[in-house]
Structure 1
Amino acid sequence: MASVKVKSVCLVAFLSFLLISSCSKNNNDSIQPRSTPTTPASIQYADGITKAIIDTAIGYSRDIYLWYKQLPGTMNSMPFSSLDSVANYFSVMNYIKNYSKDTVLPSNVIRNVDRWSFAIKQSEWDNISQGIAGDFGLGIFFMTSTDLRVKSVEKLSPAAAAGIHRGWQITAIQGVSAINTSDASIQQIVAAVFNSSKTTITFKKPDGSSQQLTLNAATYQQQPIYMDTIYNQPAGKVGYLVYNSFLGDSASVVNNLAAAFAGFSNAGISNLILDLRYNSGGYVWMEQLMANYLVNNSGNGQVMNREQFNDRYTRYNTIDRFNKKGNLNLSTLYVIVSKGTASASELLINSLKPFMNIKLVGPSATTGKAVGFFNIPVGDWYIFPVSFKSVNALGQGNYYDGFSPDVNAAVADGLNKDWGDVTESCLAKALQGINNNGAFSVETTPKLASKQTGISSGSAPVLVNDRLINPRNISGAIETRRHFQR
């Protein structure tokens, strides 16, 4: 087999995306897939998958997979079929997840932890990794079982051009007003909103008026910053930054992030709320750029994080250090999180924990993706077997259960409010903590819903009653310093 160079892709979470390297590093070590051709030769695979591709994927997994020692000697029991190969993104990647026992901290429970190894067509990945979307730009979520809301709108998308805002209620889709969390309704919603080139949706606005809009899918560049603003509060000036992903055009990301933090510094903010509730990850270098703006002076030059590979690839273990940017020197950072907060977002939180008081607010714990991948080309696919884990300066990692909101800081997502509304439940809770010197009060009003369910496009989780609706929703902390090349 031809030797390959390594170019890493670290996706740390519940699906999101990548590309473009600012700190590229080449490695010439030859990596050969460990042999084990065990697939039935008679199987006819779909979508360009062949027996050779399956066997190569198995070989690479036996070599680079973080838990390779747990893989069985033979893999004949794998569910080889066209359905599994395509619908499940390569049966190999799903199969190896059953051999990923690790210690979950802080509970010390040992269980299979890999929920993320996957495969994807290279052509599809090319768009996703560059933050290029081709849809309506709508994220939607059920506030209750019959109340479907717009949870997010991509800035340059058709939905944004139509004037749609977060918080609007969806009362009909393609003329169907029976909208609920039943399987039949979910299938209709997914087909109309995520698998169509054109759709008609009726919205109810906050003022009670209704508007019917027809949207045409289009290609657009995703913009990570949904909002940046400053509030005058009793505790002083508070910055608020809604950051939706660590993807996008590299020059725009660098410039826009610099402008946002310059604005915060010039205004003299004393506190910052970072809203990552729908940020499922992206490029590691973009996450590190953010970390360097956020870390206080005590962290400058200190260890940001360590990447740890299996015992065959310890030579790829890396240590990254903070290189402080900007003038902010905050001791406390308030972060809004949810189940949609994953990968690079969690890496950011974990990296800052040794140097800052991190206050977490939101409806649930984060995803719990403390690991990353190499992207490996196999045929016209990329496979992503989990290949390394990340730990912070204190050696803390293995947060497979995610990071939970602080005591009395768990509050439902305010899906009926637009971004920046100080009465939106999560933002209001963060402001409460800031104005109460870090203390959160017990809720005296009922939460919006005991359980919220969602359907979304782009980089946020696609869940309905905790069931993945669109498995192509990818989250990641993508490392661009190494990669596999033939």
Structure 2
Amino acid sequence: VDRWSFAVKKAEWDDVSSGVAGDFGLEVFFRAEGDLRVKLVEKESSAGRAGVRRGWRITKLNGSTNMTTTNSNAIVEAVYNSTSTVFEFQKPDGTTVTSTLAAGTYQQNPIFLDTVYTAGANKVGYLVFNSFLGDTTQIYNSFQRIFNRFSTENVKDVIVDLRYNGGGYVSVQEKLANYLVKSSATGGLMMKEVFNSKYQNFNETINFKKLGSLNPARIFFIVSDNTASASELLINNLKPYVEVKLVGPDATYGKPVGYFPIGVGDWYIFPVSFRSTNKDGQGNYFDGIPLDSKSADGLDKDWGNVQESSLANALSYITSGNFVPLSTTSTLGKSVEVAGKNKVFSDRSFKGAVIAPRTIKH
């Protein structure tokens, strides 16, 4: 079996794919050795309802102050695998708050933030999008609202934050791509899905069908090595049609292939089934899509804070035509231990590009 194919119980996939979760609703990363931060929070979760925010520092878990990489197994148990944990957080103003969080079922919302900034003479739309899975009706309604707002406010440049987005449904990628692309792209090739020689009848060509009236001059993507599959597909598909810049801590994950579910009893198997290429025939980014400018993941800042390293880097280029020099970004260098443990945390998240089921002839 290749490194990406997998199998999952149908009931579990039905929950994951529709955005139904049953945990605390927060994820963590080490900002540096001994500095454990809240990476993201789901609004409707236990953590979200308690007011926990990205960027808060975790100083205690069930009374333990050991927030080091050598204690990562205990951290995983307390944060991800427990039904109840006592967290002590340090907020950005230095005050501390203790919250007992209980795991519970909630609906994820992959749109963490949308807002508009003024950067120099430009209006800039900012969208933090965390997954191409979830309640697609909710997601599509949000897309319509967001891009109507961007158009009404005369947004010229768009920043799409995909730094933790591991992918999901290719159909959701198509929808977002059609909002982001210029009107002149309508009818142009978005992507080709190419299967192996035994299943050439599944090959598909997908063209752009512009949605909304926004025609961005440039699109900036904030990415990391957790930006995978359907996220990379979006970037690759837009590149032939609009100026695209990538900023963030790392090049993207590197997964230009996808799959569809095959039902076997009460399981789905997801064998890697197809690869994707854009209008220019490009799609061989197995080593990831490279950055235009490297900047830290500002784990000490909440979403939308214009001083957060990667967002600030994109806004700097929009305002001045120059990215922020690396020496002025914070906490860029991380130890091998920190990077390795963060990978353990992030590997828990789904990474893939999923299309509708096909009928396999035996």
| Structure-2 residue corresponding to 1:157 | 45
| Structure-1 residue corresponding to 2:170 | 284
> Which one of the candidate residues 416, 427, 434 is aligned to 2:300?
416
Distance 2:96 2:237 in 1: 45
> Which one of the candidate residues 330, 336, 349 is aligned to 1:473?
349
For 1:284, the aligned partner's letter is: V
> Which one of the candidate residues 95, 116, 126 is aligned to 2:14?
126
Alignment of 1:34-433 (within 5 A): 96-97=1-2, 115-182=3-70, 185-406=71-292, 409-433=293-317
For residue 444 of structure 1, report the CA deviation from its aligned partner.
Answer: 3.6
Distance 2:138 2:268 in 1: 27
State yes or no: 1:445 paired with 2:321: no
Q: Helix, strand or coil for the counterpart of 2:326? A: coil
Deviations 1:92-114 (A, max 9, x none): xxxx22xxxxxxxxxxxxxxxxx
Q: Relative to 1, partners in 2 of residues 1:419 and 1:471: Cα closer, same or farther, differing over 3 Å? A: closer
Deviations 1:433-452 (A, max 9, x none): 11123x32423425314127
Residue 141 of structure 1 contacts residue 452 of structure 1 at CA under 8 Å; is this kept in 2?
no
Distance 2:304 2:224 in 1: 17
Residue 230 of structure 1 contacts residue 238 of structure 1 at CA under 8 Å; is this kept in 2?
yes
| Structure-2 residue corresponding to 1:20 | none
For residue 118 of structure 1, report the CA deviation from its aligned partner.
Answer: 1.1
Please say which of residues 313-322 and 227-236 is displaced more in the overlay: 227-236
For 2:200, the aligned partner's letter is: T
Q: Helix, strand or coil for the counterpart of 2:331? A: coil
Residue 333 of structure 1 contacts residue 356 of structure 1 at CA under 8 Å; is this kept in 2?
yes
Q: Relative to 1, partners in 2 of residues 1:467 and 1:483: Cα closer, same or farther, differing over 3 Å? A: farther
For 2:116, the aligned partner's letter is: I
Residue 167 of structure 2 contacts residue 229 of structure 2 at CA under 8 Å; is this kept in 1?
yes
Q: Helix, strand or coil for the counterpart of 1:202? A: strand
Residue 366 of structure 1 contacts residue 402 of structure 1 at CA under 8 Å; is this kept in 2?
yes
| Structure-2 residue corresponding to 1:464 | 340
Q: Helix, strand or coil for the counterpart of 2:231? A: helix
For 1:421, the aligned partner's letter is: N
For residue 148 of structure 1, report the CA deviation from its aligned partner.
Answer: 0.2
Deviations 1:116-173 (A, max 9, x none): 1111122211111111111011011000011000011011111010000011000011
TM-score (norm 1): 0.72
Residue 273 of structure 1 contacts residue 336 of structure 1 at CA under 8 Å; is this kept in 2?
yes
Q: Helix, strand or coil for the counterpart of 1:358? A: strand
Q: Helix, strand or coil for the counterpart of 2:72? A: helix
Q: Relative to 1, partners in 2 of residues 1:169 and 1:441: Cα closer, same or farther, differing over 3 Å? A: closer
Distance 2:342 2:101 in 1: 28
Residue 86 of structure 2 contacts residue 101 of structure 2 at CA under 8 Å; is this kept in 1?
yes
Q: Helix, strand or coil for the counterpart of 2:276? A: strand
Residue 140 of structure 1 contacts residue 454 of structure 1 at CA under 8 Å; is this kept in 2?
no
| Structure-2 residue corresponding to 1:42 | none
Residue 143 of structure 1 contacts residue 453 of structure 1 at CA under 8 Å; is this kept in 2?
no
Deviations 1:459-480 (A, max 9, x none): xxxx734653576532122212
For residue 235 of structure 1, report the CA deviation from its aligned partner.
Answer: 3.1
The structure carrying a bigger helix percent of its residues is: 2
For residue 485 of structure 1, report the CA deviation from its aligned partner.
Answer: 11
Q: Report the RMSD for the aligned CA atoms in angstroms.
A: 2.0
Q: Which has the larger radius of gyration?
A: 1
Q: Helix, strand or coil for the counterpart of 2:105? A: strand
Q: Relative to 1, partners in 2 of residues 1:485 and 1:248: Cα closer, same or farther, differing over 3 Å? A: farther
Q: Helix, strand or coil for the counterpart of 1:414? A: coil
Could you say which structure has the greater relative contact order, defined with CA pairs below 8 angstroms and 6 or more residues apart?
1
For 1:426, the aligned partner's letter is: S
Q: Helix, strand or coil for the counterpart of 1:386? A: coil
Residue 84 of structure 2 contacts residue 102 of structure 2 at CA under 8 Å; is this kept in 1?
yes
Deviations 1:378-406 (A, max 9, x none): 23222111111000011101201111210
Q: Relative to 1, partners in 2 of residues 1:177 and 1:472: Cα closer, same or farther, differing over 3 Å? A: closer
Deviations 1:326-350 (A, max 9, x none): 1111231011001111111000000
Q: Helix, strand or coil for the counterpart of 1:223? A: coil
Q: Helix, strand or coil for the counterpart of 1:330? A: coil
Q: Relative to 1, partners in 2 of residues 1:228 and 1:446: Cα closer, same or farther, differing over 3 Å? A: closer
Identity %: 50
Q: Helix, strand or coil for the counterpart of 1:116? A: coil
Q: Helix, strand or coil for the counterpart of 1:464? A: helix
Q: Relative to 1, partners in 2 of residues 1:269 and 1:470: Cα closer, same or farther, differing over 3 Å? A: closer
Distance 1:224 1:469 in 2: 18
